[in-house]
Amino acid sequence: MSAHVDLVNLDSSDPPLIYRSIREVKRKQRTMHIGKKRRSRSLPKAARNATVNSFADIQPQFVTFLYENKNITLNSVFAKFEESTGARREHLAYAVVGIIAFYLIIGQCAELLCNLIGFAYPAYASVKAIRTPEKDDDMQWLTYWTVFAFFSLLDFFAHAIMDVVPLYWLAKVIFLLYLALPQTFGATKIYIYYVDPAVAKLEEALAKKSREE
């Protein structure tokens, strides 16, 4: 009789031990998975130290670059301009940026100029990243080229898009610069906050579907 009572009590109270153990294992697995996702979404040190984090940061950082860059040729051009005109180098830089932006809106070769801007420096930086043992720069440039390739697909519909958004090439250049420049580390941020979580959800959905089959 006592054995019968024990069985009744077992059925009417908490779930059997084996089921509680399985649930505990699953709970720990979910906790570990969340922890891994949180760790994977933490920005690398270089990206955390980005100097441009809002529109208000763009102008002062642009001026800082003009005066503190170490490109001898560029500094020589600016020095000659300042000496011959008496104007400051940022005035020349603003004029050049304005001309390029205007051409990207109305120019016949705006697509070529846009893709050249989006290719030249990133290609050079990607080669440098391959030569270094660090992985943070690999994340930056792999993400950049993935987005660049996506835009290349959109370019096929560029003329239709420009009927709705005439500033397509200019907007594309601005976004590619945000992704590429070391002052923003945009590609790394896009990967950490959007690409990686989206891929994780896709993998989880595919794994769930395969288990159901």
pLDDT of residue 52: 87
pLDDT of residue 166: 84
> Which of 165, 121, 118, 168 has its CA nearest to residue 146?
118
pLDDT of residue 9: 47
pLDDT of residue 85: 92
pLDDT of residue 195: 85
pLDDT of residue 23: 57
Place of tokens 């989880």: 204
CB 122 within 8 A of CB 129: no
pLDDT of residue 178: 94
Ranges of the chain with pLDDT below 50: 1-12, 31-40
Burial level of 191, CB count in 10 A (0-12/13-18/19+)? buried
Q: For residue range 188-200, list pLDDT tens digits in order.
A: 888 888 888 988 9
Give me the chain's average pLDDT, please: 82
State if pTM tops 0.75.
no
pLDDT of residue 35: 45
CB 148 within 8 A of CB 210: no
pLDDT of residue 145: 93
pLDDT of residue 10: 45
